[in-house]
Amino acid sequence: MLDFAVQTAREAGHILAERFGRVTEVSHKGEINLVTEADLASERFIIERIKSYYPRHAILAEESGASVERGSDYVWIVDPLDGTTNYAHGYPVFAVSIALEYRGEIVLGVVYDPMRDELFAAERGAGATLNGRRVRVSDVEDLSKAMLCTGFPYDVRERGELIGHFRNFIMTAQAVRRDGSAALDLAYVACGRFDGFWEEGLNPWDVAAGVLLVEEAGGRVTDYAGHPFSSYYAPVLASNGLIHEAMMRVLAPT
Ligand code: IPD
Ligand code: CA
Ligand code: CA
């Protein structure tokens, strides 16, 4: 099934790459939450493929929601285009994210960046790879030497308190980025480009694949208080493990 997910993510990525830079139709799901024709074309393609290869599996996809195959042990969790705002502005940072859940546990995850032809994949218990090569989280131990990444939910304008964490990390870490694709941000933690990532208000399709990538690359993923992470709720804190406690201290309520 990993090969199926890899192939599907690659082909969906090509759909995005072909249309990149010539977005004509953008609609708004909220004041700053967009959807383009590329999101829809990629999702249609992925859903059709899952339905033809695994007709009994359930699907949870961002633009169409949950499918009706209730009672299935398998659920495919799909973000057909993570980084839509980047995409709509011609900023080449976006990805396809596909994960498979079996009886409530994520067992495989794939994140594909068609602009760099980078395919991140993980299977539970089998490690994480980038274009077939094994990857590991970084070995940075000190928050002051760490390069972090974060993101903001679409309702950030109503939730000014989120800016507080951003400010606190700017004051303590070496650098903080906001790249606009949670799936890629997590993949970058998995391969050591970022040392840590935090964000709240994410949906299962943003994080399901990326969280498995980080865990399988030797990192740690929890909520802000160090509790086990669930993709169906909650803030996510993902790191190389070594700076996790330090990041928790910065995120602790005051
Ligand atoms: C968004 C991206 C972004 C994050 C938002 C997500 P979308 O997903 O992952 O980085 O900050 O919270 O909603 O809408 O581009 O698929
Ligand atoms: Ca997303
Ligand atoms: Ca999306």
**Which residue range(s) make up the domain with 28?**
2-134
Query: Do 48 and 161 fall within a single domain?
Result: no
Whether the per-residue pLDDT at 29 is higher than 80: the answer is: no
CA distance 121 to 129: 5
Query: Do 51 and 125 fall within a single domain?
Result: yes
Query: Do 102 and 172 fall within a single domain?
Result: no
> In angstroms, how far is the first alpha carbon of the chain from the final one?
45
> Is any ligand 1 atom within 6 A of the Cβ of residue 182?
yes
Query: Do 126 and 57 fall within a single domain?
Result: yes
**Contacts with 225 (C-beta within 8 Å, 6 or more apart), sequence order:** 248, 252
> Is any ligand 1 atom within 6 A of the Cβ of residue 204?
no
Query: Do 123 and 159 fall within a single domain?
Result: no
Strands 128-130 and 133-135: antiparallel
Which atom of ligand 1 has the smallest separation from the CA of 85?
15
Residue of 188, 206, 231 with the most ligand 1 atoms within 8 Å of its CB, for mutation:
206
Q: Which of 81, 108, 134 is a domain's end point? A: 134
Q: How many domains does the chain have?
A: 2
Query: Do 127 and 175 fall within a single domain?
Result: no
> Is any ligand 1 atom within 6 A of the Cβ of residue 80?
no
CA distance 96 to 114: 8
pLDDT digits (tens, 9 = 90+) for 98-107: 999 999 999 9
Query: Do 130 and 147 fall within a single domain?
Result: no
Query: Do 47 and 165 fall within a single domain?
Result: no
Query: Do 89 and 8 fall within a single domain?
Result: yes
The pLDDT value recorded for residue 159 is: 81
Tokens at 216, concatenated:
């399988």
Query: Do 169 and 45 fall within a single domain?
Result: no
- Give me the CATH number covering residue 104: 3.30.540.10
pLDDT averaged over the chain? 93
pTM of structure:
0.95
Query: Do 130 and 197 fall within a single domain?
Result: no
pLDDT digits (tens, 9 = 90+) for 57-82: 999 999 887 776 667 899 999 999 99
Q: Which of 85, 106, 134 is a domain's end point? A: 134
- Is the Cα torsion angle 165, 167, 168, 170 positive or negative in sign? positive
**Three-class secondary structure of residue 243 per DSSP:** coil
92 CA distance to ligand 3 middle (Å): 15
Q: What percentage of the chain has pLDDT greater than the value 90?
A: 82
**Three-class secondary structure of residue 107 per DSSP:** strand
- Give me the CATH number covering residue 236: 3.40.190.80
Q: Which of 134, 165, 185 is a domain's end point? A: 134
